[in-house]
Every structure is written in C-alpha cells, then in structure tokens.
C-alpha cells in the first residue's frame, strides 16, 4: 500500500504537466497571423512565464504557444486564424475563449450567441487596435486615387480595364480575401453593399493576407485590398468618400478613423470570461500591449498630440486651432442613433484623461470640437454637433478634466458622404484639441 502511494505521488507532477491550462483564440487571420501570437508571448513574459515557444498547429494558420508559469505549471494557448466568421462559430461551439475579429459582430451573430452574454457590452467588446482596408496595386501602377464608387465599379467587374480609370495597363486583375475574412466583410459592407453590387466572379480569393499582397506585388495589372500589416512592396491608393477629400491610410488618419476604410480590431469575450482571457485583454489594452499592436504594423490607441496643416476650406475657428493648438490622435464617436459614446470612445476618454494628466493639462487646456452630418433644418447639424461635444465634456469631467471650450461645427469638414447611414455615423464625431 505504501509503495502504491509513493508511486502515485511521483506521478502527480507528470499528470499536471500533461494537462496544461488552456486559452483558445479563434477568428481573424488579420489578427491571428502575427498580432495575437505576439500579444500572447508578451503577456506571458509579463506574467513571469518561462520556456515560451511557438509551434505550428495541426493546420495552416494555426499556432500553439507553450510556456511554464511562475510556479512551473505548463501553459498552452491555441490560436486559429481562419477568418472572423470562424471565430464566432467556434465560440458558439464552445471551442473558443476569445474571438479575434477584424469587424464588429453582426446582428445575426450577436443574436445567435446571446447565451454567451451581451457581446456588444463594453466588458465583452474590446477594441484592441486600429487597421485599415488598404487598396493596393503593383508598385509601377501610376494610379494614385479612387472614389468609393469607382472601387465598387472595379471590384464588381463593371470597370474591367485600367484605361477606364485613366491609366494604361489593359485588363484589371482582382485580388480579394475569402468569404470567411473580416477584411472582406469590411470591404463588402463599406464598398459593395452600399452600391448594391456583388463581387466579380473573376476575383482571386485568399485566406492569407500576406499571400494576397505578394501576388499583387508580382502582377502589373493587379488591384487588391488588405490590412495595413500586410502592405509591403505595393502602392497604396488614396480613397475618397462622397464629397470628402481622398485620403491615404496614414497612421494618423487611421487613428482618428478619418480614412474612409479605417476599421477597428476586436477581441470578443463571452460572459463570464475565463481569468486567462480577461488577463490577456487587460494586457492588450495597456501601454505595453498597445506598443505590441504598433510594432506589428497596426495603429495603436495611445494618445498623441499632432499638428494639423492649414487648408483653405477650414472654418476660421478651426484654422485658429490648427495654428495655435494640436489635435489629439483620436476622434470620439457615438452609438448609432444615440448621443451615448460607443465602446471605443468610453475607453478613449480614460486614455485622454491620463494623457492630459501626464502632460499637466487637466485644467483649461482642452478644446472640444463637434461635427455632424448634413440636416435639412438650418442650424440643426451645428446644434447636434455641439450637444455631442457637451456629452464628451461630461464624460471627461468624470475623469477630472476641465475643458476650456466647446464648439459645434455641424456638417463642416466631412470625412464621409451623407447618403449612407454608416457614412453619416462617421461624420458624427468629436475632436479633442490641446493648447
């Protein structure tokens, strides 16, 4: 009997090692290819883990990260990157602890997953960084800009030759992400669906963003789209939405979400979330986590004060700010049909307050400028834009910020058109300026 007890005690450590703690991240290829593994490894190191190693999983676009925590216990994190839709399917099947998504959860997905909690709640929907759907061509292509309408014509096959866009090149070759991709869903929602056009059947489709970009770089007649982290060696086009000027996906314009095809990157947590999932998300939202986001080629949410160039179309009050103050690198936006700040803006308010405190500008140094979409009633857009700015002032006041001034510039300086609901929502924003 004693001998059996001794043998059992000897086996217990081995059994513990054979059953490591699990964290499963499923979903976006944009996030899962490199960003999620980098975040996981940095989080493990911050927790004092050792012997961290990453290996390929059982299929392409799958990874396994193993480590030992500070007590010597084995840890294992599994990452699958087959597309945003697959992440929500995995959560429904109970095979994911975190969904990585390169687009927001859809109404149908939120309804189907209601047993997992309200995934649109601020505690579940975590915006972990920013990206953009970049429109890319071969580096020798002389084209510099397109409108959203032209994009829809090209990718639906209505425009099939480069000469129709004013440059030489012959037949246009289309390269897109596959149907499971959040990148494709974003492009489809922002470009094709508003124009009521389907993707051309001739388009070549890719699960891997890096492979798509490599194919575009090798094809003189190519045009495609991909996330910023996969844009290497290709030309990036400026994109115009409605009457707004054409904008390139620069880091500043993506951070403010002024670029027409800017998008948010998400971690979605079920309720209740596992302690490991919550800890990884908290690390990702920290300054250290956001530095990893930036290092992986995406746009972090850390606050910066940036100069703004003067332009002839700027209203006088705005031009005065551009001359004397600096604009913070976020624009605060709102829930659809509401004056309530959205989940990103709620966390950005905290980041803004921390930035102002660290720079000694909590009292009387910040100016809020509200904008809105065009209204039929004269003066209504200006009124509503000021009310949005006042809503931001109230939230900032809860964090100890005393603002200097609140302005409402209404429909001036749009960043999108006014025909589609999603464009009107983008125009409803509040900028923060600091003296």
CB 23 within 8 A of CB 78: yes
Shared domain check, 349 and 330: yes
Dmax of the chain from CA atoms? 91
Question: Residue 166: inside a domain, yes or no?
Answer: yes
In this prediction, residues 48-55 reach a mean pLDDT of 96
22: left (phi over 0), alpha (psi -120 to 50) or beta: beta
Question: Residue 67: inside a domain, yes or no?
Answer: yes
Shared domain check, 330 and 276: no
Shared domain check, 150 and 47: no
Burial class of residue 20 (count of CB atoms within 10 Å of its CB; 0-12, 13-18, 19+): middle
DSSP-assigned letter for residue 418? S
Res 132 pLDDT > 60: yes
In 3D space, the residue among 155, 132, 129 whose CA is nearest the CA of residue 231 turns out to be: 132
User: Could you tell me the CATH number of the domain that includes residue 9?
Assistant: 3.40.190.10
DSSP-assigned letter for residue 162? G
Percent of the chain scored above 70 by pLDDT?
A: 95
Shared domain check, 407 and 379: yes
Which tokens hold the place of 226? 């991909």
Question: Residue 383: inside a domain, yes or no?
Answer: yes
Q: What is the pLDDT of residue 244?
A: 86
Which tokens hold the place of 124? 């579940």
Structural domain harbouring 427: 303-434
Give the C-alpha separation, 167 to 220, whole Å: 12
Q: How many structural domains does the chain have?
A: 3
In this prediction, residues 184-189 reach a mean pLDDT of 94
Res 306 pLDDT > 80: yes
- CA angle 283–182–415, rounded 5-degree value: 90
Shared domain check, 429 and 317: yes
Shared domain check, 307 and 430: yes
- Quickly tell me which residue has 């005393």 as its tokens: 402
Burial class of residue 279 (count of CB atoms within 10 Å of its CB; 0-12, 13-18, 19+): middle
Give the C-alpha separation, 330 to 305, whole Å: 9
Q: Up-side HSE of residue 216: CA atoms within 13 Å toward CB?
A: 33
pLDDT-derived band at 413 (thresholds 50, 70, 90) equals very high
Strands (E), 38-161: 50-56, 62-68, 74-80, 98-101, 125-137, 145-147
Question: Residue 261: inside a domain, yes or no?
Answer: no
Give the C-alpha separation, 133 to 262, whole Å: 6
Q: Is the peptide bond before 45 cis (omega within 30 degrees of 0)?
A: no
Helices (H) and strands (E) in the chain, counts: 16, 18
Q: What is the pLDDT of residue 6?
A: 42
Burial class of residue 234 (count of CB atoms within 10 Å of its CB; 0-12, 13-18, 19+): buried
Which tokens hold the place of 328? 């913070």
In this prediction, residues 191-211 reach a mean pLDDT of 95
Shared domain check, 425 and 311: yes
Shared domain check, 182 and 82: no
Question: Residue 260: inside a domain, yes or no?
Answer: no
pLDDT-derived band at 21 (thresholds 50, 70, 90) equals low
């Amino acid at each position: 009997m004693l001998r059996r007890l001794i043998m059992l005690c000897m086996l217990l450590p081995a059994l513990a090692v054979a059953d490591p703690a699990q964290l499963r991240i499923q979903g976006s290829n944009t996030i899962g290819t490199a960003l999620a593994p980098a975040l996981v490894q940095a989080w493990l190191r911050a927790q004092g883990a050792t012997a961290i190693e990453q290996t390929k999983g059982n299929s392409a676009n799958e990874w396994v990260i193993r480590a030992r925590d500070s007590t010597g216990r084995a840890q294992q994190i599994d990452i699958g990157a087959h597309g945003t839709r697959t992440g929500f399917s995995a959560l429904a099947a109970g095979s994911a602890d975190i969904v990585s998504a390169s687009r927001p959860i859809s109404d149908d997905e939120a309804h189907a997953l209601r047993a997992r909690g309200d995934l649109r709640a601020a505690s579940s929907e975590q915006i972990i960084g920013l990206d953009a759907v970049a429109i890319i061509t071969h580096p020798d292509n002389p084209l510099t800009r397109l409108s959203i309408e032209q994009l829809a014509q090209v990718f639906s096959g209505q425009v099939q030759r480069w000469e129709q866009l004013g440059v030489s090149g012959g037949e246009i070759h289309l390269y897109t992400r596959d149907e499971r991709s959040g990148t494709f869903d974003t492009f489809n929602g922002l470009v094709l669906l508003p124009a009521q056009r389907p993707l051309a059947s001739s388009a070549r489709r890719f699960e891997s963003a890096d492979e798509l970009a490599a194919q575009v770089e090798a094809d003189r007649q190519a045009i495609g789209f991909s996330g910023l982290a996969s844009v290497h060696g290709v030309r990036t086009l400026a994109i115009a939405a409605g009457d707004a000027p054409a904008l390139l996906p620069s880091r500043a314009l993506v951070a403010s979400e002024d670029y027409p095809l800017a998008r948010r990157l998400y971690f979605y947590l079920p309720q209740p979330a596992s302690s490991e999932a919550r800890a990884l998300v908290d690390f990702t939202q920290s300054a250290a986590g956001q530095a990893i986001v930036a290092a992986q080629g995406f746009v972090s949410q850390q606050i910066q004060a940036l100069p703004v160039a003067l332009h002839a179309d700027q209203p006088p009050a705005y031009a005065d700010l551009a001359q004397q103050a600096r604009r913070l690198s976020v624009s605060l936006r709102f829930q659809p049909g509401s004056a309530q700040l959205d989940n990103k803006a709620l966390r950005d308010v905290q980041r803004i307050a921390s930035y102002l405190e660290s720079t000694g500008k909590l009292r009387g140094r910040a100016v809020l400028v509200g904008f809105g979409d065009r209204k039929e009633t004269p003066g209504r857009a200006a009124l509503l834009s000021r009310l949005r700015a006042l809503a931001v002032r109230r939230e900032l006041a809860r964090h100890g910020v005393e603002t200097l001034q609140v302005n409402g510039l209404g429909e001036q300086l749009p960043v999108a058109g006014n025909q589609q609901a999603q464009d009107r929502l983008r125009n409803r924003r509040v900028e923060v300026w600091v003296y």
